[in-house]
Structure 1
Amino acid sequence: MKSNKKKVIILVSSVVLLILIGVMFVIYESGPYNKNNGEDIVVDIPMGSTVNNVADILKENNLIKNEFIFKMNFKIKNNYSHMKSGKYLLNQKLSNSDIIDKLVSGQMYQEGIKVTIPEGSTSNEIISLLVKNELGKKEDFEELVSNPSNFYDDFEFLNQKDIKNLEGFLYPSTYYFDEDSKPKDIIKEMLNLFNKNYTDELKKEQKERKMTLQEVINLASIVEKEAVIDEDRPIIASVFYNRLDEGMPLQSDATIQYVFETRKKSITYKDLKIDSPYNSYVVKGLPPTPIANPSIKSIKAVLEPAHTDYLYFVANIDGGNVYSKTYDEHIKNVQKYRKDRDERNKALEAASEAEKEKE
């Protein structure tokens, strides 16, 4: 009896040991091919590649230890169909999991001239960036941006009466352009990314709000310029909707800034009287065109605004806004902001002087 019990213990222990060895083997084989070698290599995954093809390519480039283990990891971590073809920058320090994440998320290696267009950039600022990177002449880009009809064949959404130029539709992102790229192809790439991000769901919400595409992007561009933190975007959008519903002017400094070739440090009382269709202190409704190229966050804020009764807002020293329903409340908030700002500036000056005395 004792002999049988001993045999069972030995058998169970052997099975557990084999399992542990198997687990350790899988962990080891799933790890980096060489954790000390971070030299990057470009690996091309052809269109239509199967996981077997990918495993072969990675093994040939000494990026994985075991093809079977890699395929097993891929199956456990993701469905094979999620894999994206293209060029990837990989190295031997990456584990199977790291490589799979890149293949599934499409973190592809990009070649060419890198141009990053910040959210809220104007078309003039974008053109300056492109010219600075020697991707074309200023006048060529200006002609393309001022004439949406150049792109009607490729982008049907632009063929609308109230879309006068491409301001608002040059999607902010990081791009990689070939040195010999033509200006029209560069603009097309930006428009294509806008079209891709302006999803059917957003189009449905636009239709439900009974707005044109230009109206959505126009208002989103103002929200983009007024918002400092993401949480404020839907609330700012609601304020502007409320003002439009009340027949009030939008009273946005950002629209006046658009008139000037170079952004001013602050808008003066004299600027508030400037004769321009972009002066939203005088002219009611939306300006003639968007005033910038907004992020998708601001576009969504316009299509999914907060529900508020606010008609006014002013910045606070923490970077956000303070909102109010009445003008009297707004004046109090403005006074508080100015007081807080002045006190903070005095404190900063005092701290700066103290630092100088220590030196």
Structure 2
Amino acid sequence: MSNSNDKQRNSLYHERATQARIVRRIVFFTFLGLIILGTIAGFSAYSYITNALSPVDEDSPEEIEITIPIGSTSNHIGTILEEEGLVRNGTVFRYYVRYKNESGFQAGDYRLHTGMTMDEIIESLKDGTVMQDPELQFTIPEGLWLEHMIEAIANETDHTVEELEAVIHDRDYVESLIERYDMLTEVVLDDDIRYPLEGYLFPARYDFMVKNPSIEEIVEAMLSRTQAILTNLEEEMDELELTPHEVLTLASIIEREAQKSEDRYKISGVLYTRLERGMKLQVDPTTAYAIGEHLYMTSYANTQIDSPYNTYVVDGIPIGPIAGPGQDSIEAVVRPEITGDLYFYARVNGEVLYTDTYEEHLANRDRYRHEWIEAAEEAEQEDEE
């Protein structure tokens, strides 16, 4: 009886051992297969992308003329390039542009060739190397209020301030733009928003192939530049749980406060730290915008102005942008340099002093306040002259 049981146990052991070997082999070969498939897929993807980024025909390049319309997005440009045979895949172009954080493509007529790499095509479209000189060219400085942007455009074009204002502030037109631009939402139509497109028109150089582009063409060219920058920063915005409107609002504050690039990122860090601690932002440019007057000095009475723009009164991020921020300020919002400082004081010469206590901040203010007083007096004398 004992021998019979031993035989059964041995038989069962061998059977289980055989099954275990089979299972191990299945797992091994499955794992090996997955590795091989993964390697093949990775190599195929690498080859595909490398091929997509390389010239379409490097050996016998063909020159091709294309037109990039005003207001074209990277997606639209990718489609044009693919249809004209200058890139193999327009979608790859769009994602590559986003990956490299490229923007600032210029509208116009271009003469490109099939021997160009995707990087070379991008640089040509950014540089604005067009077949003909633009009929109209003007530059909008960073940090202007929208009303001053309108004046600058009027000075460079045949459009009057009144004509520009009528289009830019037209509710029906703004609603049509909301349907076309992802960054624009109904929030810009809030009754407390002074100008719906404040902060959305990108300050930069603009080249137009016609002498007198329509107001809509100008506005949409400026909107498209902002949209392109925000699209490239979409993932970072999502991580910070910020809407495009909030990003542009904070960027406009940073633009009005900082003159140097390094300070934009540090000031952004101060603003974040204050928001995280539930403190009011308390930045002077928002008070000036609330009043509607540029101020050299902000008085206590100024800070008490009841306005959704005034960060001495409202909690958190104000209702909307207060100026047109440049790309550096926009990027500073999503890439803040957190130092732990809670206060900053900007001197007339552009230097920004950072402190982590209110007492140190007051000391800096008292030490350099005379500079702003003198600057205000000089400006008043110039106005009188």
TM-score range, shorter chain: 0.5 to 0.7
Give the Cα separation in 2 of the matches to 1:249 and 1:104.
40
Aligned with residue 219 of structure 1, among 250, 253, 264? 250
**Which amino acid is 1:194 matched to?**
T
1:206 aligns with 2:237: yes
Give the Cα separation in 2 of the matches to 1:129 and 1:276.
27
- Structure 2 unaligned segments of length 5 or more: list them: 1-62, 67-83, 87-112, 191-195, 376-385
Secondary structure class of the residue paired with 2:247: helix
Secondary structure class of the residue paired with 1:259: helix
Give the Cα separation in 1 of the matches to 2:218 and 2:292.
23
Matches within 5 A, 1:273-312: 273-312=304-343
Q: Which residue of 2 aligns with 1:172?
A: 203
1:132 aligns with 2:155: yes
Query: Residue 103 of structure 1: CA displacement?
Result: 8.8
1:193 aligns with 2:219: no
**Which amino acid is 2:223 matched to?**
L
Secondary structure class of the residue paired with 1:157: coil
Q: Which residue of 2 aligns with 1:320?
A: 351
Give the Cα separation in 2 of the matches to 1:324 and 1:137.
46
Residues 135 and 182, structure 1, Cα contact 8 Å, conserved in 2: no
Give the Cα separation in 1 of the matches to 2:178 and 2:362.
47
- Structure 1 unaligned segments of length 5 or more: list them: 1-43, 51-73, 86-100, 346-359
Query: Residue 291 of structure 1: CA displacement?
Result: 0.2
Question: Any idea what the Cα deviations from partners look like across 1:51-88, whole Å, max 9, x if unmatched?
Answer: xxxxxxxxxxxxxxxxxxxxxxx99xx95555559xxx
TM-score (norm 2): 0.60
Question: Any idea what the Cα deviations from partners look like across 1:179-216, whole Å, max 9, x if unmatched?
Answer: 3322112101111111222233x110000001111011
Aligned with residue 181 of structure 1, among 210, 213, 218? 213
**Which amino acid is 1:222 matched to?**
I
Give the Cα separation in 2 of the matches to 1:218 and 1:115.
25
Give the Cα separation in 1 of the matches to 2:226 and 2:310.
27
Q: Which residue of 2 aligns with 1:348?
A: none
Give the Cα separation in 2 of the matches to 1:287 and 1:103.
36
Matches within 5 A, 1:1-359: 46-47=65-66, 79=116, 82=119, 84=121, 105-108=127-130, 109-146=132-169, 147=171, 148-161=174-187, 164=190, 165-177=196-208, 178-200=210-232, 202-316=233-347, 318-338=349-369, 341=371
Question: Any idea what the Cα deviations from partners look like across 1:294-330, whole Å, max 9, x if unmatched?
Answer: 0110111110101221111112465221111111121
Query: Residue 245 of structure 1: CA displacement?
Result: 1.9
**Which amino acid is 1:151 matched to?**
L
Aligned residues: 259
Alignment RMSD = 3.2
Give the Cα separation in 1 of the matches to 2:331 and 2:167.
27
Secondary structure class of the residue paired with 1:208: helix
Give the Cα separation in 1 of the matches to 2:139 and 2:162.
21
Residues 145 and 166, structure 1, Cα contact 8 Å, conserved in 2: yes
Call closer, same or farther: CA 1:302–1:82 in 2, change over 3 Å.
Answer: closer
Query: Residue 130 of structure 1: CA displacement?
Result: 1.8
Call closer, same or farther: CA 1:81–1:229 in 2, change over 3 Å.
Answer: closer
**Which amino acid is 1:244 matched to?**
L
Q: Which residue of 2 aligns with 1:96?
A: none
Give the fraction of aligned pairs with identical amino acids, expressed as a percent: 33
**Which amino acid is 1:46 matched to?**
E
Call closer, same or farther: CA 1:79–1:113 in 2, change over 3 Å.
Answer: closer
Call closer, same or farther: CA 1:81–1:269 in 2, change over 3 Å.
Answer: closer
